[in-house]
Structure 1
Amino acid sequence: MPASTDMKAFTRIVELGSFAKAADDLNVTPSALSKLMSRLEDRLGVRLLTRTTRRLALTPEGSLYLERAYEVLDLIERTEADVASSRARPKGLLRINSSTGFSRQTLLHAVPAFLQRYPEVSIDLSLTDRLVDPVSEQADIIIRGSPSAGAEFVVHELARGRRLICAAPSYLKRYGEPRSSDDLTQHNCLALSGQVPATTWSLATEDGVVQFLPKGSFSCDNVGMLFDMAIEGHGIVRLADFVVGQAVQDGRLIEILAEVNRASSISLWVLMPRGRFLSPRVQAFLDFMADYLSPN
């Protein structure tokens, strides 16, 4: 059996944390997979995995083998992809995991345009604001507003934007428009909870830049929910233009305090599982979104 087959089997066992799950994924029996691993360890003369009743754990030799296996498998896939690139075209299923706010306000419009351009591609989109495991979620790409990730991710900056402070016309008509950070203390600010630095708003004052802690009747860790609350006129939000930009353009939200809003820049990041080559459909989507989000 080729060494690359052993490597692929080993990486799937580690990724899925189970011989049974890996066997199902590789379409072999658990006993056959267990024998394969035993033969691999016998050939190498070292133990790669230790098993307990609850989980599998890598030995130091196993960690080294995993790292090198990813490199070898990635090289094989890249080589085959390069050879076939002249005939390759975007097609097949693209699995995307994205934050709710960005998906509902930007991907809602971008995805249909992408699918129209690439009719042989289909998209399975999952929405969550937590960082997911790309292996267990089977995600090809993950879109987030933070580059924070473990070593198992490749991180790529997709676009740059800024955070806007805004409110619905109905809210401003009812309560007036704040002109300073002091004014904000008299308003209902809808806070994004649990996500630094988004939990505080950097605002310029006569005494310098201050970190304003928004306070109000509602906070949430879901950007999409905060957006909906703001649209309905329930308070003031500070969210990325990737989320609120279209609503500001069409007048559903109005940007306020632009002259005192500081440290408002934000990047949009794509996280991809390390060790996978960029398939034509993944590369096509990244290129499309970079153009779609370009200010020009």
Structure 2
Amino acid sequence: MLAPEVILLLRLADLGTLAAVAEETGMTPSGVSRMVSRLEKRTGIKLVHRSTRRLAFTPEGAVFIGYARRMLKLAEAAEVDLSHRHGEVRGHLRVNCGTAFARHRLAPLLPAFLRRHPAVTVGVSVSDHRIDPFEEQIDVTIRVGLLDDSELIAARLGTVRRVIAASPAYLERRGTPTTAQDLASHDCLLLTGFPGQAYWPMIEQGAVVRTPVRGSVTADSADTLLQMAIEGVGIIRLGDFLGRKALAEGQLVELFQGQHDADPKPISALMLPGRQAIPRVRAFVDFLKERA
């Protein structure tokens, strides 16, 4: 197993700042710096140039990082081999997904996964913007939508369809839109960072027409927009799994049934090459497939 100082140095290379590593580990930036200094003293090599504003790895530090990454891969390969031999699923699993999936799909499922595999720990990072799984060293990244061509290994988990909905209070106050043209006079809630979502695909005379929409509120969190829709702020277009509970309980009313392109998209688990063979990663993805 790699020394804690070496693991920390790898995270410093991945995250880029003392503050980011400190936040992830619960340490202080000065504590992180002291651990790096301890490693430098032990090796007799200056590994990192540190200042209050930036850090940079020395040429020797870059070489050390390369060796450390190869050692980490060997350690993970050994864990895979031993786990296979003993039939154990153990270790730490790093997962990333959007806020909507985290709250409405992942959070309800995780307890059952952890009961099934009590030797596994899970670290979940949640963001509605795209992250680089290679840079962040994420084991499983869950994404909704068509996938870009990349080196990541993809496993299909299911399908998400879109619905358009609003709260009864909003519809009582503003009226119920019945045509695509009606949307121009309504407040629509939009997710920032995805320009295409400002155009909703409506069906007119058998053809799909991209209808521009606008509103007084945007947010970078789909779950925030859901809560605003429930509170009557505007009309929302959202994934069916995100709105399922609110629609079933009457907090939201589906609009434009038969007049709106549900635009089904895959839900996928993306894995770094080689990680799909690690038992904890395979067990987690198989579990999600079961519950999709």
TM-score, normalized by length of structure 2?
A: 0.70
Provide closer, same or farther for how the CA distance between residues 97 and 187 of structure 1 changes in structure 2, counting only shifts above 3 A: same
Whole-angstrom CA distance in 2 between matches of 1:174 and 1:13: 53
Bigger shift: residues 150-159 or 121-130: 150-159
Distance 1:81 1:258 in 2: 49
What are the equivalent positions in structure 2 for 1:109-124 lying under 5 Å apart? 109-124=108-123
Q: CA RMSD in A?
A: 4.7
Distance 2:180 2:103 in 1: 30
C-alpha deviation, 1:181, in angstroms: 0.6
Verify the 8 A CA contact 2:144 2:160 in the aligned structure 1: no
Equivalent residue for 1:47? Answer: none
Give the secondary-structure state (helix, strand or coil) at the position aligned to 2:275.
coil
User: Structure 1 CA distance, aligned partners of 2:73 and 2:180?
Assistant: 51
User: Who is 2:254 aligned against?
Assistant: 255
The 5 Å alignment of 1:267-278 reads 267-278=266-277
Please state whether the residue corresponding to 2:188 is helix, strand or coil. coil
Q: Secondary structure in 2 aligned to 1:261?
A: coil
CA drift of 1:142 comes to: 1.5
Deviation at 1:260, TM superposition (A): 0.9
Shift of 1:237: 0.7
Deviation string 1:242-271 (CA, Å, 9 cap, x unpaired) is 322232233322221121111521221222
Give the whole-Å Cα distance in 2 for the aligned partners of 1:91 and 1:83: 10
Equivalent residues, number: 279
Greater alpha carbon shift after TM alignment, 146-155 vs 261-270: 146-155
Residue matched to 1:214? 213
- Report deviation, 1:198: 2.9
Structure 1 residues 124 and 256 mapped into 2: Cα distance closer, same or farther (>3 Å)? same
Match of 1:8 in 2: none
Distance 1:275 1:196, change over 3 A: farther
Which has the higher mean CA deviation after the structures are superposed, 233-242 or 274-283?
274-283
**Contact 1:188 1:236 (C-alpha < 8 Å) held by counterparts:** yes
Aligned to 1:172: 171
Return the structure number with greater helix share.
2
CA offsets, 1:109-136, max 9 Å, x none? Answer: 1222322333332322221111223355
State the identity as a percent: 35
- Segments of 5+ residues of structure 2 without an aligned counterpart are 1-9, 22-31, 44-53, 58-65
Deviations 1:157-200 (A, max 9, x none): 32112111111222223333222212222221112233154332
Q: Distance in 1 between matches of 2:75 and 2:92?
A: 21
Cross-structure match for 1:187: 186
Query: Within 5 A, what are the aligned runs for 1:35-114?
Result: 81=80, 84-114=83-113
Q: Give me the whole-angstrom Cα distance separating, in 1, the residues matched to 2:12 and 2:230.
A: 46
| The 10-residue stretch of structure 1 (140-149 or 183-192) with the greater mean CA deviation from structure 2 | 140-149
Describe the SS at the equivalent of 1:125. Answer: strand
- Classify the secondary structure of the residue corresponding to 1:119: coil
CA distance in 2 between partners of 1:29 and 1:179 (Å): 63
| Aligned-partner residue type, residue 110 of structure 2 | V
Aligned-residue offset at 1:94: 1.9
